[in-house]
Chain A
Amino acid sequence: MKTGTTLQHRRRAKTRKKVFLLLLPIMLFGIVFVYYPFIRTIVNSFSLVNAKGIIKGFAGLDNWAYTFGRKDFVLALKHTLTIAAVNVPITIIITISLALLANKKRKMSPLYEFLFTLPMAVSMSAACMIFKSMFSPSVGFINYFFGLNLGWYESKDTALAAILILTIWMGIGFNFLLMLSALRAIPEQIIEATKVDGISPLRRIFRVQLPLISPTIFFVLCTNLVLAMMTSAPVIIIMGVSSASSATNTLMSMMYQSGFSSSDYGLAAVLSITTFILTLGFTIMSFVFEKRKVHYQ
């Protein structure tokens, strides 16, 4: 009996060692690339950091007061929240509508499934360049086609809208695919039951189909919220440091500029943490929504 338990102990210890060994690579990866930068950023936000990124002393809330006091911070915060507030609902509405249109399998289904998902295949920087030329006030296709005379990226009034159009377009492909597969996963007989029961198509969509794909809608909501809060690449690539850039600066693009161009690490850290806290808050809010509205089978 005694030897048995020691054997078991030894075996268990052996397994434990093996578990740690197998987990080591991902743990190392996590520590180096996720947890260390995260904690370092928090520390930075409360420290005096020189241009080389070395901590020179404790700064208390100085970085925070400095950041929140800046005019461009308030603007960047406004832009970020606008992007999140516009991007997320519009993406969800567009992708659900497209998925509903493409739901029924027809002869040509593969063609427009392909067309709708195509934006996925375009890289962000390529898309930025394409949109920049499409929205060009002089030689751009958009102004010509719609008979407009807008400055788009070059005007303070329209730059943010043009950025939003680009980011929404970028997100459509993947989210459409998620919505479509969720819709197609609804058992055919449930849809047939609504037909026999005389449920109108609109009622069927809102009372049956949407509730049944609510887990996917929730997933799209969360991921897009985070992505929208992190919007930076199009702002940096298209707007650069032009005169209009202050019209579109987001928290993340401001962070990029302060951290990588100006080497103002204190400011960059505060911006990062602020964005993180806001995103976390929104995500928690959406989980409250999930409890009430999302139906899991």
Chain B
Amino acid sequence: MDATNEGCMASVQLTSIKKIYPPVSGGRKKHRVSANEAGTNLEKTEQGVVAVQNFNLEIKDKEFVVLVGPSGCGKSTTLRMIAGLEEITEGELYIDGKLVNELDPKDRDIAMVFQNYALYPHMSVYDNMAFALKKRTSSKDEIDRKVREAANILGITEYLDRKPKNLSGGQRQRVAIGRAIVRNPKCMLMDEPLSNLDAKLRNQMRAELIQLRRKIDTTFVYVTHDQTEAMTLGDRIVVMKDGFIQQIGTPQEVFEKPANQFVAGFIGTPQMNFFPASLKEAHGQYSVDLDGYVVQLGDEDSERMKTHGVTPGNIILGLRPDSLVIEHSSTASVAHVDVVEMMGTNIHLHLDYRGREIILVTQAKDENQHLKMDYEQGSELYFSFLPQSMYLFDSETGMNLVV
């Protein structure tokens, strides 16, 4: 907001952060973890459930970092540790080069936007935003100026006198963001800020967040389970699962070079298709055999795999839905059409390939702008794929064999 104001920028550094929730002890924490535990493989030790471990991340000044992962992966816990709402069991947290492990949230100079907005329901929009300022700044005029400036940025000036209950979800979220930015924090923390909004509003707010970020130059740490938000908002994405970081990288890196099968399946919609296949090697040249359909790997990939010492054997072959190509010859792999989803520009075909559901995305119209709707349920369909579109994963560890 006010770029000249010192202290509105900061790097955040997390070193070997670990969080253990103690086992049965009264309180709300217990409930949160046990709710998350279902369906995850969080490590349990004598001290309790390990929600986050070995978390190393350096967030640069003014960077927008998105923590993304399925529920219970530790992303919110990590954010709450940065905020100071959750104690850090092990490791060190630096904000602006200063160790803040033991500091109260108020002394960390951070602001946080909560999933359910957490607005003060008995205060007007204006007071909600001015509340935190009243102690920090001395003059009333300055508070007024800051509140109006933030309201102006977010387009909520006309609602300043309203109470939160008289606002829509999107407006409430703007007020919550406004409350955070008036304080000019070193670091903005956002905990799934868009997940309470309906789909249309979420898309709109996502675009507004991108614009907002240009206006208020500060460090952002953003938590979401939505990979679209992660891809569109983040400078860098941190993909997490079961308390561990899976991969850190730019949206493009994470999409094009997923570190493992989990990341590959999590990033990108529709989800990547996975096939059990076998890797073969002949004269230094690798090839993939998918149930008899053999595809040679490119020279570059082969070279890289050779230096990694990849041995032939069973692997997992990953193929994105849009890299599957419909063929008319029976030399290609064969699948049966199960469900046809017309999405407008594209058609999503859910295919049954040897008892496994895969998705193929194809253009809805051919070159002559004619709709291609000749997909009947149960009919046979041949598909192939290009060597450069293949992702190869170790069948046991799930690690990407090519990167």
Residues of A within 8 A of B136 (CB): 198
Q: Is the interface of A mostly helix, strand, loop or mixed?
A: helix
What is the CA–CA distance of A106 and B25 in the complex, to the nearest angstrom? Answer: 8
A157-181 CB contacts (< 8 Å) to partner B: none
B residues 112-153 near A (Cβ < 8 Å) are 112, 114-116, 118-122, 131-132, 135-136
Given contacts A106-B27, A193-B120, A196-B84, 4 further A-B contacts (CB under 8 A): A106-B26, A110-B26, A190-B118, A196-B83
Task: Offer 18 A-B interface pairs, CB within 8 angstroms, sorted by A.
Answer: A106-B27, A107-B25, A189-B115, A189-B116, A189-B118, A190-B120, A192-B112, A193-B114, A193-B118, A195-B85, A196-B105, A197-B179, A198-B107, A198-B132, A198-B136, A199-B106, A199-B135, A212-B121
Is there an interface contact between A193 and B122, defined as CB atoms closer than 8 Å? no
Q: A193-B112, A198-B136 are in contact. Are A105 and B27 (CB under 8 A)?
A: yes
Q: Let me know if B183 is at the binding interface, CB within 8 A.
A: yes
Contact A208-B135, Cβ < 8 Å, known A107-B26, A195-B105: no
Q: Tell me the A residues contacting B by CB distance below 8 Å.
A: 105-110, 187-190, 192-193, 195-200, 203, 207-208, 211-212, 214, 295, 297
Quick one: which of A107, A195, A198, A208 contacts B120, CB cutoff 8 A? Answer: A208
A187/B116 in contact, CB under 8 A: yes
Contact B122 A295 (CB under 8 A): yes
B102 in the interface (beta carbon within 8 A) = no
B10 to chain A, nearest CB (A): 15
B85-107 interface with A by 8 A CB criterion: 85, 104-107
Minimal Cβ-Cβ distance residue in A for B86? A192
Contacts of A212 in B (CB 8 A): 121-122
Is A189 touching B114 in the complex (CB atoms < 8 A)? yes
Docked Cα-Cα span, A173 to B203, in Å, equals 51
Given contacts A208-B120, A211-B122, A297-B121, contact A196 B27 (CB under 8 A): no
- A187 close to B106 (CB less than 8 A): no
Which of A107, A109, A193 neighbours the largest number of chain B CB atoms within 10 Å of its CB?
A: A193
- Asked if residues A196 and B120 are in contact (CB atoms below 8 Å), the reply is no
Given A189-B114, A193-B112, A197-B179, A203 and B121 contact (CB-CB distance below 8 Å): no
- B283 touches A (CB below 8 Å): no
Interface residues of B (CB under 8 A from A): 25-28, 83-85, 104-107, 110-112, 114-116, 118-122, 131-132, 135-136, 165, 179, 183
Q: Cα distance A8–B131 when bound, in Å? A: 59
Is the CB–CB distance between B26 and A198 below 8 Å? no
CA distance A107 to B120 in the complex (A): 29
Residue ID in chain B nearest A200 by CB atoms: B135
Whole-angstrom distance from the CB of A44 to the nearest CB of chain B?
47
A192 touches B131 (CB 8 A): no
User: A196 vs B115: C-alpha distance in the bound complex, in angstroms?
Assistant: 15
Chain B residue numbers with a CB within 8 Å of A199 are: 106, 131-132, 135
| Given A195-B104, A196-B110, A197-B106: A188 touches B135 (CB 8 Å cut-off) | no
Q: A190-B118, A212-B122 are in contact. Are A196 and B85 (CB under 8 A)?
A: yes
Q: Which residue of B has the minimal Cβ distance to A195?
A: B105
State whether A203 and B26 are in contact (beta carbons under 8 Å apart), knowing that A196-B106, A208-B120, A295-B122 are contacts in the complex: no
Give Cα distance in the complex from A108 to B26, angstroms.
8
- Across-interface contacts of A192 in B (CB, < 8 A): 83, 85, 105, 112, 114, 118
What chain A residues lie within 8 Å of B104 (beta carbons)?
Answer: 195
Complex contact A197–B183 (CB within 8 A): yes
User: How many angstroms between the C-alpha atoms of A199 and B83 in the bound complex?
Assistant: 15
- Minimum CB distance partner of A212 in chain B: B122
Inside 8 A of A190's CB, which chain B residues have their CB?
118-121
Closest residue of chain B to A214, judged by CB?
Answer: B122
Docked complex Cα distance between A187 and B120 (Å): 10
Chain B residues closer than 8 Å to A105, beta-carbon distance: 26-28
- Note all chain B residues with C-beta closer than 8 A to A197: 106, 111, 131-132, 179, 183
State the Cβ distance, A208 to closest chain B Cβ, in Å. Answer: 6
Bound Cα distance A109, B26 (Å): 8
Q: Is the CB of A198 within 8 A of B106?
A: yes
What separation, in Å, do the CA atoms of A295 and B105 have in the docked complex?
A: 28
Interface pair A207/B27, CB less than 8 Å apart:
no
Q: How far is the CA of A200 from the CA of B115 in the complex (A)?
A: 23
Complex CA gap A37/B25 in Å reads 54
Least distance between B134 CB and chain A CB atoms (Å): 9
Q: Which residues of A contact B120 (CB under 8 A)?
A: 190, 193, 208
> In the assembled complex, which residues on chain A have CB atoms less than 8 Å from the CB atom of B107?
198
A182-B179 Cα distance, complex, nearest whole Å = 25
CB distance from A81 to the nearest CB of B (A): 32
CA distance A97 to B183 in the complex (A): 31
Expressed in whole angstroms, the minimum distance between the Cβ of B235 and any Cβ of chain A is: 23
A19 to chain B: closest CB distance in Å?
35
Measured CB to CB, the closest approach of chain A to B13, in angstroms, equals 20
Residue of B nearest to A109 (CB): B26
